[in-house]
Structure 1
Amino acid sequence: MVEGIYSVVFIAMGSRCEIRIAAANSETAQCLAARAIDEVRRIENKYSRYRSDSVVSRINAAAGRHAVECDRETIALLAYADTLHKASEGRFDITSGVLRKAWNFRDGVLPAPETLAALLPLVGWGTVARKQTSVFLPQPGMELDFGGFGKEYAVDRAAEALAETGITHAYVNLGGDMRFLGPRPDGSAWDIGIQDPRALETTVASIPVRRGALATSGDYERFIEVGGKRYCHVLDPRSGMPVSYWRSVSVLAPLAITAGSCTTTAMLLEEEGLDFLERSGMSYLAVDHQGQIFRRTL
């Protein structure tokens, strides 16, 4: 059977998403992609902080009051968050999402120092009480936010849903976080362009990928400029202020959740991020604040 490559586009997690898949025709591609899209929707509904009935919202609503029982999937994600916190020397902190209350990247205004000062005591993964089946945020007003790896987790789950049906020539792309199930039908790699963080219509490199995952974090995704200085959405949990050393970091890894976690951790570690990327053992391409490119290809 002759197969073509079809694109199934949908919106999820506030992003334009796409599944590119080898199939006999467009209708078949839509049917094959449906199971993966359902899995993305499931994860978004379960962990979105924008839904009052999500697991994350229930945990946050109980802050300072009582522990919340969690299922196995949620407990595993919390354990992963703990691993990231340790690997990043405390910079990757899923309680730091509360700082978004101080930052408005639409109006172009810096938060007042007293606003940040009031929120910083609510940041502290180390104070969160976790048991085998429950989690407790000790202070009223504390929040968990899975935004640092939730989308990448959904990418992996969607890709696994496709793989379970025997698909071997496809990739999942949720807003730039990607997982590849195999090469194109002719065996060639997918060529993925890495966006120039200062000229968004151009690329700084093209990376051939046959299998695995690719994720990018950058200071161009959400930011404001005040007094000629760029303030991006990646916030240091210690100060509440944006990081500024890297313009973008891209990582190739076996899983999207690993690739995305590495890019964000490198951004948060600033000058120390390059050493972290080297120790990770994975391929990467990073652009620093001066536009210098660092890369390692395995």
Structure 2
Amino acid sequence: MSRKYFFLLIAILFVSQGSYAQIVRKRTTLLMGGRFDITIVAKDSLLAEQNIDAVIAEITRIENLISDWKPDSQLSEVNQNAGIRPVKVDREVFELTQRAIRFSEITNGGFDISFAAMDKIWKFDGSMTAMPSAEAIRKSVEKVGYKNIILDSVQSTIFLKLKGMKIGFGALGEGYATDKCRDMMLAKGIKAGIINGSGDMSTWGKQPNGKNWNIGITNPFHPEKLLAVVPLKQDAVTTSGSYEKFVVFDSKRYSHIINPATGYPATGLCSVTVFGPNAETANGLSTSLMVLGKTAGLLLLNKYPDYSCVMITDNGKVVQSKNFRMKKFKARL
């Protein structure tokens, strides 16, 4: 399982604002190791810009708590003390870890926040000429295993039992941040906007002209084209995919998204887009579905009736979950 950046670009399609009372302001910045596009609808430019500043401050706060590449973050302290001692963390970090472990349990390790300890034996930069050996693949995941994460709810501590273990939230953390910022904006009376963290997107409200936000999903086989355009209100959408990073051995396509339970790359799907009320959950589902594959992935999704998905198989077949809500959705491969 690899950190997801822009493997499938999700574009926001704006329509003309006309002469409506509210305005749209958008800013792009780098946070949490990736790109964030922040769009706010407000009554004037000053209010919109002030709230964009507030969103950036909130994402920065979360990053300083859960970043596994910032040496002074709480998560880094947990990793630095693997096999040594439990580390007390803020309740926010503890509960995010709890939710991530639940995903690990329900997917039997297909999703695992301890993937950060995985050896990087797979290369997706064109340098690989042969598959790693079975022994090298087995060894690459020796330090991976959510069952070796010990949580103490009373003390609010996290302990990694094995030396060399690491946990990391990756794109799950980006989804969490977009949800938190949407909730914050709604609490402040900002009635519409989009927080897009490297393709993990939380939306709410409508455009100033009263129309829904239109989200364009990139075609994985023709990245310059859109697969479809989907209208959203107060929803979240996340995409996991491998069309930019993969290798082919013996005519079989291996995704850059690695199954942390086995060490082998995901196969069968090149793109999964999940829709639902919460970007954190949608991200966990989209990553898990890529790893589990079409059949097992749809069975998992059945446990989350508020979420739906569109999958694209390696051979170009479009698969929609039974509860997919967009009746007029038409994919154009």
TM-score (norm 1): 0.92
Secondary structure of the residue aligned to 2:113 is: coil
The partner residue of 2:313 within 278, 288, 292 is 288
- Quick check: 2:171–2:200 contact (8 Å CA) kept in 1? no
Q: Extract unaligned runs of 5+ from structure 2.
A: 1-19, 326-333
Distance 1:32 1:55 in 2: 27
CA distance in 2, matches of 1:24, 1:222: 42
The Cα RMSD (Å) is 2.0
Q: Deviations over 1:250-297 (max 9, x none)?
A: 111111111111111111211411232344222221111211111243
**Number of residue equivalences:** 298
1:80-122 superposed Cα distances (whole Å, 9 cap, x missing partner): 0121012212211111222253344346326743543333221
User: In the alignment, residue 312 of structure 2 is paired with which amino acid?
Assistant: V
What does residue 275 of structure 1 align with?
299
Q: Which residue of 1 aligns with 2:17?
A: none
- Aligned-partner Cα distance in 1 for 2:31–2:131: 29
Q: Is the 8 A contact 1:33 1:162 kept in 2?
A: no
CA distance in 2, matches of 1:164, 1:27: 18
C-alpha deviations, 1:38-73, integer Å up to 9, x for none?
111111122111111111211111111111112211
C-alpha offsets along residues 172-218 of structure 1, whole Å, 9 cap, x if unaligned? 11111111121223331111011111211111111110111111111
Identity fraction in percent = 31
Q: Structure 1 residue 53 and structure 2 residue 86: aligned? A: no
Give the alignment partner of residue 262 of structure 1, picking from 275, 285, 301. 285
Q: Map 1:118-267; keep pairs closer than 5 Å.
A: 118-132=139-153, 133-220=156-243, 222-224=245-247, 229-267=252-290
Unaligned residue ranges in structure 1 (runs of 5+): none
Q: Distance in 2 between matches of 1:134 and 1:161?
A: 27
Counterpart secondary structure, 1:146: coil
Higher RCO (CA < 8 A, seq sep 6+): 2
Supply the distance in 1 between the matched residues of 2:196 and 2:206 (Cα, whole angstroms): 15
Is the 2:255–2:270 contact (alpha carbons within 8 Å) kept by the matching residues of 1? no
What SS does the corresponding residue of 1:10 show, helix, strand or coil? Answer: strand
CA separation in 2, counterparts of 1:256 and 1:267? Answer: 16
Q: Name the CA shift for 1:16/1:100 in 2 (closer, same or farther; >3 Å).
A: farther
The 2-side partners of 1:66 and 1:111 are apart by: 37
* Conserved? CA contact 1:99–1:116, under 8 Å: no
CA distance in 2, matches of 1:103, 1:12: 26
Structure 1 CA distance for aligned equivalents of residues 205 and 262 of structure 2? 42
- Aligned counterpart for 1:89 among listed residues 92, 108, 112: 108
Mapped to 2, the partners of 1:99 and 1:267 lie a distance apart of 18
1:23 alignment partner in structure 2? 42
